[in-house]
Homo-oligomer: A and B are copies of this chain.
Amino acid sequence: MRAWRSVRCPARSLRQSARYASNAAQSGRSGIAAILGREEPVDNAQVTGWVRSVRKQKKIAFAALGDGSTLDSLQAVLKPEQAEHLSTGTAVKLQGAWVKSHGSKQSHELQVSSVSVLGENDAENNPIQPKYQTPDFLRTVPHLRSRIPNNAILLQLRSRVIASLTRFFSDQGFVQTHTPIITSSDCEGAGEVFTISSNASKDATQKAKPEGEAKVEHFFREPKYLTVSAQLHLEALAQAVDKVWTLSPTFRAEKSDTPRHLSEFYMLEAEQCFVDDANQIMDLIENMLRYVATDTLDSKLYRELLQSRGTAAADEGDSHVDSASLDKRWKGLRASYWPRITYDSAMHLLTTAQEEEQVRFEHAPSYTEGLAAEHERYIASTVGNGSPVFVTDYPAEQKPFYMSPSATGSSTVACFDLLVPDLCELVGGSMREHRSKELLETMNAKGVAGLEWYQDLRKYGSVPHGGFGLGFDRLLCYLSGVANLRDVVAFPRWYGRCDC
């Protein structure tokens, strides 16, 4: 009985409750999720949450209660007068007896002795209604849509994956770092960037006079941008502590309006020194994703993720992932072997498949033009057999300046993309050019100017190293079966849209 009350503890007793909460956490969940796991009856239980639905009959009323910790609801049995002020969405505190249920839909129920309504709830005018609403509409109310149980599960998933990754990297001796958001560098030399200015300097910028050279006062003396990648800064920090990682916001000002692009997204990036070969970085990625999958596969959260696919947006259409397909993705991440094929082999495979009419591509595969999405999809689905596939050693001209040449030849670079079924590119990485002269030559050849500080890293204590970047929100799409990045990010930002 005490363990329950501790879910909501009175002031000054959190120390005690921390112990209980920790017990609950061992089963992976807290709140109503933890309560629903209780088999033994509890005389004087206390539960808090939001009413998901309420059903009033003449002599009895039923309320389903949730708090985002589980898809399941707790069934509360009330007298009709106790349910008088309850409507969908109301926050309540209920006290009563936790007993075996007479109903067939749940094993236990709460026979309520007292009800406290905790705050206002205008159920009628709530934009979120207990019926099917399109993802497009829900994106207009990001401040409310996370309350839908399927969306709350996505918040739980993000949290759990972050915790897994933090443990994985810590066990592996990687140092988690905070790389800067405001920066001078445009890592890829591609993609539009966001420029920042301060209130103080805005006036000067906007009143630039056409008749003369307006002196623009910049907060940081010169224009600065929102980071497009933490990589270059991570490389600097790797030379201090050998192995580093970060999970950091990243920005692109591209006017893309697709389910696969956001203006603001999270990237997981890592760099490791004293690495001889891109295979070591690929090993790291395999181990990392296998760890994350293994860590969650046996959990209630995982079973609920599968379950949520049943009620997921019907209008996902062709991109809808059912629970069997989702299960296959997770099992694929646990596969002990992920194929690694070179770009060259991939091209050969695509050309052969096209010639033998196993597939008809919209664009014929071309070595110089690179892999199109349809090609990546074909490789991911045919080579991997459910597991992800590494494509390695791309032509140098398709890749940024900082990559090392492949061991086997100088026209390709020691890099890889990780392709997963349906979603295609999830991770990109490479060995980094650690030789001063060669780096400068490639920068010149590719027209990358400046970055003297980055060149410094090759002059003083340079060392072979490599790393990768993983689109974290894409990973969550892959793990949840949600088709659109805008629906795994709580407050998504894309071209023309930045609600709340």
User: Using a CB-CB cutoff of 8 Å, which residues 175-212 of chain A contact chain B?
Assistant: 175-185, 192-200, 202, 205-210
CA of A120 to CA of B171, assembled, Å: 31
Contact yes or no, B158 A178, CB < 8 A: yes
Contact yes or no, B498 A155, CB < 8 A: no
Interface string of A82-105 (1 = CB under 8 A from B): 000000011101000000000000
CB proximity of A414 to chain B, nearest CB, Å:
12
Contact yes or no, B198 A197, CB < 8 A: no
CA of A14 to CA of B31, assembled, Å: 39
Q: What number of copies of this chain does the assembly contain? A: 2
User: Of the 9-residue stretches A142-150, A312-320, A324-332, A352-360, which lies at the interface with chain B?
Assistant: A142-150
CA of A242 to CA of B93, assembled, Å: 13
CB proximity of A50 to chain B, nearest CB, Å:
5
Q: List chain B residues, Cβ under 8 A from A397.
A: none
Q: List chain B residues, Cβ under 8 A from A233.
A: 143, 490-491, 500
CA of A176 to CA of B159, assembled, Å: 5
CA of A209 to CA of B126, assembled, Å: 44
Contact flag A120-B253 (CB < 8 Å), given A166-B166, A264-B180, A491-B180: no
Asked if A215 is at the interface (CB within 8 A of a chain B CB), the reply is: no
User: Using a CB-CB cutoff of 8 Å, which residues 258-290 of chain A contact chain B?
Assistant: 263-264, 266, 273-274, 276-277, 279-280, 283-284, 286-287
Name A221's closest neighbour in chain B (CB-CB).
B496
Asked if A9 is at the interface (CB within 8 A of a chain B CB), the reply is: yes
Asked if A8 is at the interface (CB within 8 A of a chain B CB), the reply is: yes
Contact yes or no, A197 B195, CB < 8 A: yes
Asked if A60 is at the interface (CB within 8 A of a chain B CB), the reply is: no
Q: List chain B residues, Cβ under 8 A from A244.
A: 155
Contact yes or no, A146 B176, CB < 8 A: no
Asked if A425 is at the interface (CB within 8 A of a chain B CB), the reply is: no
Asked if A387 is at the interface (CB within 8 A of a chain B CB), the reply is: no
Contact yes or no, B461 A196, CB < 8 A: no
Contact yes or no, A146 B237, CB < 8 A: yes
Name A145's closest neighbour in chain B (CB-CB).
B240
CA of A91 to CA of B465, assembled, Å: 11
Name A119's closest neighbour in chain B (CB-CB).
B462
Q: List chain B residues, Cβ under 8 A from A208.
A: 206-208
Contact yes or no, A69 B242, CB < 8 A: yes
Q: List chain B residues, Cβ under 8 A from A287.
A: 14-15, 18
Asked if A485 is at the interface (CB within 8 A of a chain B CB), the reply is: no
Q: List chain B residues, Cβ under 8 A from A498.
A: 180, 182-184, 220-221, 224
Contact yes or no, A458 B175, CB < 8 A: no
CA of A56 to CA of B24, assembled, Å: 60
Asked if A152 is at the interface (CB within 8 A of a chain B CB), the reply is: yes
Name A222's closest neighbour in chain B (CB-CB).
B498
Contact yes or no, B461 A68, CB < 8 A: no
Partner of A24, one of B125, B173, B198, B464: B173
Asked if A255 is at the interface (CB within 8 A of a chain B CB), the reply is: yes
Contact yes or no, A29 B173, CB < 8 A: yes
Q: List chain B residues, Cβ under 8 A from A276.
A: 10-11
Contact flag A170-B119 (CB < 8 Å), given A196-B194, A279-B11, A457-B143: no
Contact flag A249-B181 (CB < 8 Å), given A122-B459, A280-B11, A457-B143: yes
The 11 sampled A-B contact pairs (Cβ below 8 Å) are A12-B279, A31-B242, A50-B461, A67-B241, A69-B173, A121-B462, A147-B240, A159-B177, A180-B490, A183-B500, A208-B208
Chain A contacts to B: CB under 8 angstroms: 8-15, 18, 21-22, 24-25, 29-31, 34, 48-50, 67-69, 89-91, 93, 118-123, 125-128, 141-144, 146-147, 151-152, 155-156, 158-159, 162-163, 166-167, 170-185, 192-200, 202, 205-210, 219-221, 224, 226, 233, 236-237, 239-244, 248-249, 251, 253, 255, 263-264, 266, 273-274, 276-277, 279-280, 283-284, 286-287, 434-436, 453-454, 456-464, 489-491, 493, 495-500
11 additional contacts, CB 8 Å, given A93-B274, A155-B244?
A15-B283, A24-B173, A68-B240, A68-B242, A118-B462, A120-B435, A155-B241, A185-B500, A198-B253, A249-B249, A453-B500
| In the complex, the 7 A-B pairs of residues with the closest C-beta atoms, listed nearest first | A30-B173, A119-B462, A68-B241, A198-B253, A14-B283, A146-B240, A91-B463
